[in-house]
């Protein structure tokens, strides 16, 4: 990477120097061991030990002495690693910063007095002297690390006694965070800025010690585990090649892209077919109708004359076409949600004018009128509500599905750091305080067969998880809530939902923190990272289905550290009142951010030549639409600009004034003197034609299993259910997220005696001065879509609210976020059931509106992603993975031989609410033997779409129906009891129903339960149905017998059932249950996913 | 007057707010100082009575945990770093801050020189983990460090991927132990923990933190600043309830008292 664009340093001739740090063999190589485990687990490749060697290539004017100094002082660890420069081992002597001996103090005496000691001899840290030499090793300690091996052969000192050495490095132009940090370290170490012709590159060498894998195995290791060709390159050398003198190729500098010119795109004479071809060729993702709208706009003779006068071609420029495509993309414009639906559903015909306005905005506004705590919805990057008298909270959830499908690590990482920026760009700027993550993947045990270009679900799981982990942990934002759902159809497109909530004082510098404005004359300022070729066409790509030929320039890595600095700086500048408006640079880059901001004051004019670049030779349109990460756009009053830019410089944050806001009515773009684009804001933002969408419901054809066909309720069934991917513990994966940085955590992802019981919601206390706390939970029940997408949506909302209440939140304070991930509901090639998918969407939206109105739950933010399909390149059905094929075959749309894999229509509903007193928050674990166990809510014959039916290979027809009125009464009653401190535990029933909830509450408490069911109410059901039905709005609580009367009084007239008692014996037994040993159930539940780590 | 605590921020440090809160709750006056401001003017340190290095991912830990920030402090603070030791300024490093102190050579400083003697490497599991641990304060350390007066055991979270504390050799680690440089050990049933997860990273001698010879420079991998209130404990709904503060707070109030 190029750290900056200062003049070349003259002293030394340009040369390549390769530093390598190899772990000393006496120390355990945890990274190598982990890779070895992964290879054994995923590829069934067993090989000898693997050692990781870190490499850094310095391309520039570095002397050998400087390279050694870099290696010793900031690269290699002197205790556990040996440093090599161009293959030569370091044999330097120890160096130290000396402290006068008398000041070191006696070790066993009293501690030194706490007073100023006049410094005697000043410690000397002058010229370079090498650091410590290689430590001697006498014997292993604690017996758990690798035994000492013989001294490695002198000829292969770096990689040991290796069979193969594999070097993985980034392709030119891809974000290399290690290199960026190293460059910064080199600058402070050498006391000079790196020159424009100097670059640093990082790499990792995996040394496969003899006996290594076979060459064929090695190829699989490289292709399926070690690297992703979209962003990385790999080079393998065998021992024989190494002996013959071959070495890893030096990194090549990032190539120059484009020609730097502005090209007109002649449209006015094109036929319809040519317009469509142009849209495809440029990845514009514009329909014919939209292309025609653009064509007719630029045919207008008055406009053509005005353009000539402005120095622009009559035909649109490439930059204008690209800016329009970004702004009009489904990703940015939500054309489907804003479209006009002609609906035919069970004999009813109607027209719905915008799903968004009808089913989301209107109900939310109606609810807002009844509540005084909602500050801002639909107008900003995230919805804002008043958390307390002093604090506002905003929250946003995004999806990053397409990028995660292509490059799981970078896709997920940019997903999470991207939604962090949404929060930073809300109002005056909110500080991110929590992340959420919800994934939908194909099953990890899917066979090897996959359609072209798709990655195995296991690889996606690992990569996405690592991206979320690094993105959140390195940013210092706790990941507090989430889940992983599995279904074979997500093989075609994984869903990666990333959410962030932010906190701000209600007033900042005398203004309401959720408000912002721009005045003409304000400077347009870009802050954060440089612009490169990375992330061009992200918005348009995600507006199309995934296919074999999806563009890869949209793939990015993300740099949380650069972003963390930017966040710190922005919040500092916010509190000093240094800017007036802020928004993030996400999809569509500057064309979207500045283009949107221009609407605030009526125009903007920017100069692309003022934008700091990280790649040479970008065409102006690249700069305009690049989605290079870690950037925000701000409006800074002219009198604050100097102070703002100076603060940025002192904080090591890049900031550049790139133009000004105007009242011209246009978004004007220049590159130096050269005009690049001049788009009327009205056309840019309002010119897209509206979609008309036909929606026709096809009723599901499934049937219920007869009682006689249900399996026996025995230990084997219980274990099998608890081990299912959707039910088993996710703890090993979740523990890799930092869930308590920032110190607000009250209820963590896991609870109970050994902190391994699953929590229903996270609770955080943002202000340690009060006990008022924030709870966050979510619901996602995609499989119910196979029967009725409306019930799917209602259950998602209900589950989120129930989970929130179980943690102690007041249901009347809850706000929600709707995130739709749908298969393409527009007709097209290989999409025969598009009208049904559209009807499913209408049903889901209608159900969302109904239930939110009943719960008085406003949707303060949301997002939709409408192209979650994989389209097969050639003949349908070819090379489909067997799991996906089986799933497609049983999809209720009856598409037996589909040419696409469509995700099940999926709504993620996230709910946030207030826990009035954190000390009354609840967890799911049983607390004391003898406590009574109650089931609140009715259990019905509702196994349709359940986990049990999935286990049996069925779908069924009775999907759970939500009855929001009785449910809300129940939630309110539960909350009253929680506030009184009457309840010992509360756990919401979800996948797997009552049996799973009981088992989880037992696991958390390390306590058993004895059921004493009486024949009443729900008891009439077949036991398997009773224990595994997924009827909505049910909650399992436990409480001390002394409070039984209080509970019965509170729930008088409602459906409740006393199930039995908590017991010391670690068994689940009684009622219709066989005796279930909880140790055995725990094993089944706890281990399946952990094994994959 | 309340003692001023310099809380280092910037460059990927991210647990600075809760550390400032800990010092404030303990009666100190925490002041956040940006790393680059300190680089410009290292003497800023001496406007404070405590130097605290919070957790986080300084420079992304891209060249190894804490390595670059340690390089920055050694190179940019230079003499001031020696003066911190010479003046006897209390220093606390938590998690990444501890990694920085070790790699900059401020801990354990058994030879009276600011040079790296030990290291923090990848957890044996190969994974970053957030889990609560119990750590025991070594009795000798409690006697001679003003940070640790009266403390016996603490419960708080570890949140790291590179927390395995190793010496340059087993013998060197033995020597550090004998000389009283081990301040904390991971515990299991009251004994030094040898097994995962009680010893969450495979640290030699179950060591969770170091103390220098003066008793004033202290560092540890676990996060006492994330365990100030009983409400922050993972099992408060089962044991003890959500009122009040924990022993972890005493780490901070100890030093404030000692300075007062």
Query: Which residues 476-535 on chain A approach chain B with CB closer than 8 angstroms?
Result: 476
Taking CB atoms and an 8 Å limit, are B36 and A652 in contact across chains? yes
Taking CB atoms and an 8 Å limit, are A185 and B17 in contact across chains? no
Residues in B closer than 8 angstroms to A136, CB to CB, are: 169
DSSP A678-701: EEEHHHHHH-SPPPEEEEE-----
User: Is there a single domain that holds both residue A1067 and residue A978?
Assistant: yes
State whether residue A108 sits within 8 Å of chain B by CB. Answer: yes
Residue-wise pLDDT tens digits, B72-82: 999 999 899 99
Taking CB atoms and an 8 Å limit, are A182 and B116 in contact across chains? no
Closest CA of chain A from B135, distance in Å: 17
* Average of per-residue pLDDT across A616-621: 83
| Complex ipTM tops 0.90 | yes
Give pLDDT, residue A877. 42
For residue B12, what is the domain's CATH number?
Answer: 3.40.50.880
- Domain end (from A297, A320, A343): A320
* Average of per-residue pLDDT across A1076-1086: 98
State whether residue B86 sits within 8 Å of chain A by CB. Answer: yes
Q: Helix or strand or coil: residue A799?
A: helix
Give pLDDT, residue A546. 53
Give pLDDT, residue A541. 57
User: Is there a single domain that holds both residue A277 and residue A213?
Assistant: no
Q: Is residue A447 part of a domain?
A: no
**Nearest to residue B131, comparing CAs of A838, A850, A740, A162?**
A740
A140 — pLDDT class (breaks 50, 70, 90): very low
Give pLDDT, residue A445. 92
A891 — pLDDT class (breaks 50, 70, 90): very low
Taking CB atoms and an 8 Å limit, are A177 and B62 in contact across chains? yes
What is the rounded average pLDDT for all residues in chain A?
88
Residue-wise pLDDT tens digits, A862-879: 999 999 999 876 544 444
Catalytic, B223? Answer: yes
User: Is there a single domain that holds both residue A298 and residue A164?
Assistant: no
Give pLDDT, residue A882. 40
State whether residue B76 sits within 8 Å of chain A by CB. Answer: yes
Report whether pLDDT(B50) > 70.
yes
Report whether pLDDT(A523) > 80.
yes
* Average of per-residue pLDDT across A284-308: 93
**Nearest to residue A1062, comparing CAs of A922, A924, A928?**
A928
* Edge-to-edge strands, sheet with A523-528: A581-584, A631-636, A523-528, A655-661, A604-607, A666-671, A674-680
Residues in A closer than 8 angstroms to B25, CB to CB, are: 768
Indicate the number of domains in chain A: 3
DSSP state at residue A158 = T
A274 — pLDDT class (breaks 50, 70, 90): very high
* Average of per-residue pLDDT across A1013-1019: 56
* Host domain of residue B216: 4-259
Taking CB atoms and an 8 Å limit, are B226 and A138 in contact across chains? no
Report whether pLDDT(A133) > 60.
no
User: Is there a single domain that holds both residue A219 and residue A293?
Assistant: no
Give pLDDT, residue A539. 57
State whether residue B154 sits within 8 Å of chain A by CB. Answer: no
User: Is there a single domain that holds both residue A209 and residue A282?
Assistant: no
* Average of per-residue pLDDT across B226-235: 98
User: Is there a single domain that holds both residue A942 and residue A1061?
Assistant: yes
* Average of per-residue pLDDT across A923-949: 97
A892 — pLDDT class (breaks 50, 70, 90): very low
* Average of per-residue pLDDT across A513-523: 96
Percent of all residues in chain B with a pLDDT value above 70, rounded to a whole number: 100
Residues in B closer than 8 angstroms to A1005, CB to CB, are: 238
Give pLDDT, residue A849. 98
Taking CB atoms and an 8 Å limit, are A119 and B87 in contact across chains? yes
* Average of per-residue pLDDT across A423-449: 95
Residue-wise pLDDT tens digits, A703-726: 999 999 999 999 999 999 999 999
Q: Is residue B98 within 8 Å of residue B221, measured between CB atoms? A: yes
* Average of per-residue pLDDT across B223-234: 98
A558 — pLDDT class (breaks 50, 70, 90): confident
Q: Is residue A764 part of a domain?
A: no
**Nearest to residue A502, comparing CAs of A582, A578, A441?**
A582
Report whether pLDDT(A103) > 70.
no
Q: Is residue A339 within 8 Å of residue A693, measured between CB atoms? A: yes
* Average of per-residue pLDDT across A942-971: 97
- The residue ranking higher by pLDDT, A402 or B165, is B165
Report whether pLDDT(A920) > 70.
yes
Q: Is residue A282 part of a domain?
A: yes
Give pLDDT, residue A554. 60
User: Is there a single domain that holds both residue A167 and residue A315?
Assistant: no
Closest CA of chain B from A570, distance in Å: 12
User: Is there a single domain that holds both residue A193 and residue A73?
Assistant: yes
Catalytic, B75? Answer: no
Measured at the CA of A492, the angle between CA A489 and CA A494, to 5 degrees, comes to 85
Residue-wise pLDDT tens digits, A1046-1055: 999 999 999 9
* Average of per-residue pLDDT across A206-227: 92
Give pLDDT, residue A889. 40
Report whether pLDDT(A146) > 80.
no
What gap in Å lies between CA A1063 and CA A274, rounded to an integer?
74
Query: Which residues 709-768 on chain A approach chain B with CB closer than 8 angstroms?
Result: 735-743, 745-748, 750-753, 755, 765, 768
Give pLDDT, residue A135. 32
A545 — pLDDT class (breaks 50, 70, 90): low
**Nearest to residue A167, comparing CAs of A75, A46, A252, A249?**
A249
User: Is there a single domain that holds both residue A977 and residue A1067?
Assistant: yes
Give pLDDT, residue A538. 59
Catalytic, B156? Answer: no
Give pLDDT, residue A92. 62
**Nearest to residue A426, comparing CAs of A642, A574, A542?**
A574
What residues contact B5, with CB distance under 8 A and at least 6 apart? B20, B23, B28, B29, B30, B31, B48, B49, B50, B51, B52
Percent of all residues in chain A with a pLDDT value above 90, rounded to a whole number: 74
Give pLDDT, residue A587. 80
What gap in Å lies between CA B59 and CA B69, rounded to an integer?
7
Give pLDDT, residue A874. 52
User: Is there a single domain that holds both residue A87 and residue A226?
Assistant: yes
Q: Is residue A1021 part of a domain?
A: yes
Closest CA of chain A from B115, distance in Å: 5
Residue-wise pLDDT tens digits, A831-854: 889 999 999 999 999 999 999 999
* Average of per-residue pLDDT across A604-616: 90
Residue-wise pLDDT tens digits, A20-60: 999 998 899 999 999 999 999 888 999 999 999 999 999 99
- The residue ranking higher by pLDDT, A543 or A974, is A974
Report whether pLDDT(A112) > 50.
no
Residue-wise pLDDT tens digits, A778-798: 999 999 999 999 999 999 999
- Highest mean pLDDT, choosing among A131-140, A583-592, A841-850: A841-850
Return the exposure string of B5-41: e unless at least 16 CB atoms fall within 10 Å of the residue's CB, then b: bbbbbbbbbbbbbbbbbbbbbbebbbebbbbbebbee
A544 — pLDDT class (breaks 50, 70, 90): low
Residue-wise pLDDT tens digits, B170-223: 999 999 999 999 999 999 999 999 999 999 999 999 999 999 999 999 999 999
- The residue ranking higher by pLDDT, A148 or A59, is A59
State whether residue B134 sits within 8 Å of chain A by CB. Answer: no
What is the rounded average pLDDT for all residues in chain B?
97
A vs B, Cβ pairs < 8 A, gives 319
Residue-wise pLDDT tens digits, A244-260: 999 998 887 766 555 57
* Average of per-residue pLDDT across A206-212: 92
Q: Is residue A1036 part of a domain?
A: yes
Report whether pLDDT(A128) > 90.
no
Q: Helix or strand or coil: residue A572?
A: helix
Give pLDDT, residue B250. 97
Residues in A closer than 8 angstroms to B76, CB to CB, are: 188
What gap in Å lies between CA A81 and CA A64, rounded to an integer?
20
* Average of per-residue pLDDT across A136-161: 47
State the alpha helices, DSSP H only, in A680-788: 681-686, 715-722, 731-734
Give pLDDT, residue A628. 85
Q: At what angle do helices A789-806 and A964-980 cross, to 10 degrees?
A: 10
User: Is there a single domain that holds both residue A232 and residue A289?
Assistant: no
Q: Is residue A988 within 8 Å of residue A802, measured between CB atoms? A: yes
- Highest mean pLDDT, choosing among A317-321, A816-820, A1071-1075: A816-820
B153 — pLDDT class (breaks 50, 70, 90): very high
Give pLDDT, residue A529. 87
Residue-wise pLDDT tens digits, A327-352: 888 877 888 999 999 999 999 999 99
Measured at the CA of B146, the angle between CA B142 and CA B150, to 5 degrees, comes to 45
Report whether pLDDT(A412) > 60.
yes
A602 — pLDDT class (breaks 50, 70, 90): very high
A367 — pLDDT class (breaks 50, 70, 90): very high
* Host domain of residue A189: 15-96+126-243
Give pLDDT, residue A109. 36
Give pLDDT, residue A888. 43
Q: Is residue A935 within 8 Å of residue A1036, measured between CB atoms? A: yes
Taking CB atoms and an 8 Å limit, are B36 and A918 in contact across chains? no
Q: Is residue A530 part of a domain?
A: no
Beta strands of B39-88 (E only): which ranges?
50-53
Residue-wise pLDDT tens digits, A948-957: 999 999 999 9
Q: Is residue A762 part of a domain?
A: no
User: Is there a single domain that holds both residue A70 and residue A192?
Assistant: yes
- Domain end (from A320, A354, A389): A320
Q: Is residue A854 within 8 Å of residue A364, measured between CB atoms? A: no
Beta strands of A855-905 (E only): which ranges?
859-865, 869-871, 900-902
- Domain end (from A227, A243, A259): A243
B127 — pLDDT class (breaks 50, 70, 90): very high
For residue A52, what is the domain's CATH number?
Answer: 3.30.1280.10
Q: Is residue A950 part of a domain?
A: yes
């Amino acid at each position: 990477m190029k750290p900056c664009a200062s003049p070349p340093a003259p002293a030394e001739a340009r040369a390549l120097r390769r530093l390598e740090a190899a772990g000393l063999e006496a120390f355990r190589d945890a990274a190598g061991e982990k890779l070895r485990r992964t290879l054994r687990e995923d590829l069934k490749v067993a090989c000898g030990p693997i050692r990781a060697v870190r490499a850094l290539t310095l391309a520039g004017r570095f002397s050998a002495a400087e390279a050694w100094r870099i290696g010793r002082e900031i690269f290699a660890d002197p205790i556990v690693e040996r440093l090599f420069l161009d293959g030569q081992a370091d044999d330097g002597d120890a160096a130290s910063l000396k402290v006068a001996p008398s000041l070191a103090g006696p070790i066993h005496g009293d501690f030194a007095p706490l007073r100023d000691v006049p410094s005697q001899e000043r410690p000397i840290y002058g010229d370079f002297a090498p650091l410590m030499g290689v430590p001697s090793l006498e014997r292993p300690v604690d017996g758990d690390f690798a035994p000492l091996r013989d001294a490695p052969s002198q000829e292969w000192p770096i990689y040991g006694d290796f069979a193969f050495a594999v070097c993985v490095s980034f392709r030119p132009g891809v974000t290399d965070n290690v290199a960026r940090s190293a460059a910064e370290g080199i600058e402070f170490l050498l006391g000079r800025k790196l020159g424009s012709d100097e670059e640093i590159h990082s790499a990792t060498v995996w040394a496969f010690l003899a006996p290594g894998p076979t060459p064929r195995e090695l190829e699989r290791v490289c292709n399926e585990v070690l690297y992703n060709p979209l962003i990385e390159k790999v080079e393998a050398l065998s021992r024989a090649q190494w002996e013959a003198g071959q070495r890893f190729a030096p990194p090549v500098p990032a190539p120059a892209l484009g020609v730097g010119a502005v090209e007109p795109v002649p449209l006015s004479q094109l036929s319809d077919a040519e317009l469509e071809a142009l849209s495809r060729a440029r990845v514009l993702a514009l329909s014919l109708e939209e292309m025609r709208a653009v064509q007719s706009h630029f045919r207008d003779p008055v406009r053509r004359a005005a353009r000539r006068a402005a120095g622009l071609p009559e035909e649109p420029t490439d930059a204008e076409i690209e800016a329009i495509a970004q702004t009009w993309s489904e990703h940015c414009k939500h054309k489907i949600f804003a479209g006009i639906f002609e609906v035919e559903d069970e004999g009813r015909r109607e027209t719905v004018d915008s799903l968004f306005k009808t089913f989301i905005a209107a109900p939310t506004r109606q609810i807002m009128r009844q509540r005084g705590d909602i500050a801002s919805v639909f107008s900003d990057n995230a919805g804002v509500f008043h958390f307390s008298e002093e604090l506002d909270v905003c929250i946003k959830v995004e999806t990053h599905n397409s990028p995660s499908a292509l490059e799981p690590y970078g896709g997920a990482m940019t997903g999470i750091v991207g939604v962090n920026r949404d929060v930073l760009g809300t109002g005056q700027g909110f500080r991110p305080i929590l992340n959420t993550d919800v994934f939908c993947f194909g099953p990890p045990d899917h066979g090897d067969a996959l359609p072209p270009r798709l990655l195995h679900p296991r690889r996606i799981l690992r990569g996405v998880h690592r991206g979320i982990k690094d993105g959140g942990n390195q940013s210092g934002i706790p990941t507090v809530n989430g889940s992983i759902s599995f279904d074979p159809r997500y093989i075609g497109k994984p869903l990666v939902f990333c959410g962030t909530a932010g906190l701000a004082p209600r007033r900042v510098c005398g203004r309401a923190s959720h408000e912002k404005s721009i005045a003409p004359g304000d400077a347009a300022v870009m802050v954060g990272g440089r612009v490169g070729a990375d992330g061009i066409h992200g918005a348009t790509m995600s507006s199309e289905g995934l296919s074999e030929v999806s563009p890869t320039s949209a793939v990015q890595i993300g740099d949380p550290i650069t972003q963390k600095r930017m966040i710190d700086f922005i919040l500092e500048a916010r509190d000093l009142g240094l800017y007036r408006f802020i928004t993030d640079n996400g999809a569509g880059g500057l064309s979207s951010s500045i283009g949107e901001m221009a609407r605030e004051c009526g125009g903007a004019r920017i100069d692309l030549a003022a934008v700091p670049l990280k790649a040479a030779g970008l065409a102006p349109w690249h700069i305009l639409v690049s989605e290079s990460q870690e950037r925000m756009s701000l409006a800074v009053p002219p009198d604050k600009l100097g102070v703002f830019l100076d603060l940025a410089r002192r904080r090591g944050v890049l900031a550049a004034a790139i133009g000004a806001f105007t009242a011209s009515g246009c978004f004007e773009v220049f590159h130096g003197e050269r005009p690049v684009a001049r788009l009327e804001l009205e056309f840019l933002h309002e010119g897209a034609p509206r979609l008309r969408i036909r929606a026709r419901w096809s009723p599901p054809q499934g049937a219920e299993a007869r009682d006689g066909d249900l399996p026996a309720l025995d230990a084997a069934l219980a274990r099998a259910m608890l081990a299912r991917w959707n039910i088993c513990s996710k703890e090993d994966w979740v523990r890799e997220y930092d869930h308590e940085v920032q110190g607000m955590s009250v209820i963590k992802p896991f609870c109970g005696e050994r902190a391994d019981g699953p929590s229903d919601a996270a609770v955080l206390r943002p202000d340690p001065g009060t006990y008022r706390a924030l709870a966050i939970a979510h619901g996602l029940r995609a499989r119910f879509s196979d029967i009725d997408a409306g019930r799917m949506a209602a259950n998602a909302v209900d589950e989120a609210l129930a989970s929130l209440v179980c943690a102690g939140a007041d249901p009347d304070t809850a706000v929600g976020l709707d995130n739709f991930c749908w298969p393409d509901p527009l007709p097209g090639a290989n999409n025969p059931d598009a009208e049904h998918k559209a009807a499913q969407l209408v049903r889901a939206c209608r159900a969302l509106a109904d239930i939110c109105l009943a719960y008085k739950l406003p949707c303060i933010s949301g997002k939709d992603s409408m192209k979650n399909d994989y389209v097969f390149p050639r003949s349908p059905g070819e090379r489909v993975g067997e799991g996906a094929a089986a799933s497609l075959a049983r999809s209720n749309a009856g598409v037996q031989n589909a040419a696409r894999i469509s995700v099940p229509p999926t709504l993620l509903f996230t709910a946030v609410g207030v826990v009035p007193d954190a000390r009354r928050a609840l967890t799911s674990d049983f607390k004391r033997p003898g406590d009574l166990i109650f089931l609140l809510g009715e259990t019905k014959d509702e196994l349709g779409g359940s986990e049990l039916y999935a286990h049996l290979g069925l779908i069924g027809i009775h999907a759970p129906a939500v009855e929001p009125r009785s449910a809300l009464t129940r939630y309110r009653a539960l909350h009253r009891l929680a506030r009184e401190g009457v309840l010992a535990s509360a756990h919401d029933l979800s996948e797997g129903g009552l049996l799973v909830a009981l088992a989880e509450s037992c696991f958390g408490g390390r306590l058993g339960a004895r059921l004493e069911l009486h024949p009443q109410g729900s008891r009439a059901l077949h036991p398997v149905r009773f224990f595994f039905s997924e009827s909505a709005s049910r909650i399992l609580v436990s409480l001390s017998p002394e409070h039984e009367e209080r509970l019965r009084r509170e729930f008088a007239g409602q459906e409740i059932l006393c199930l039995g008692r908590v017991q010391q014996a670690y068994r689940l037994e009684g009622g219709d249950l066989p005796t279930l040993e909880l140790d055995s159930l725990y094993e089944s539940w706890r281990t399946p996913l952990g094994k994959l780590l | 007057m309340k003692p001023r605590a310099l809380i280092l921020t910037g460059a990927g440090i991210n647990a600075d707010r809760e550390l400032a809160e800990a010092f404030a709750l303990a009666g100190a006056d925490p002041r956040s100082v940006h790393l680059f401001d300190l680089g410009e003017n290292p003497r800023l340190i001496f406007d404070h009575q405590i130097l605290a290095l919070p957790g986080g991912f300084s420079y992304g830990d891209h060249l190894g945990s804490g390595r670059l920030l340690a390089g920055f402090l050694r190179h940019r603070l230079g003499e001031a770093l020696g003066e911190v030791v010479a003046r006897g300024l209390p220093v606390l490093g938590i998690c990444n801050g501890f990694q920085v102190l070790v790699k900059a050579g401020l801990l354990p400083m058994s030879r009276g020189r600011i040079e790296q003697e030990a290291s923090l490497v990848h957890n044996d599991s190969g994974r970053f983990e957030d889990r609560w641990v119990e750590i025991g304060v070594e009795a000798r350390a409690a006697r001679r460090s003003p940070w640790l007066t009266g403390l016996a055991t603490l419960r708080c979270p570890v949140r790291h991927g590179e927390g395995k504390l190793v010496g340059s050799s087993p013998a060197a680690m033995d020597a550090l132990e004998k000389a009283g440089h081990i301040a904390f050990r991971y515990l299991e049933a009251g004994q030094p923990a040898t097994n995962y997860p009680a010893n969450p990273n495979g640290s030699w001698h179950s060591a969770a933190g170091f103390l220098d010879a003066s008793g004033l420079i202290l560092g540890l991998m676990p996060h006492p600043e994330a365990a100030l209130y009983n409400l922050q404990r993972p099992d408060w709904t089962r044991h003890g309830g959500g009122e009040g503060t924990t022993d972890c707070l005493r780490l901070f109030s100890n030093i404030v008292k000692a300075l007062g």
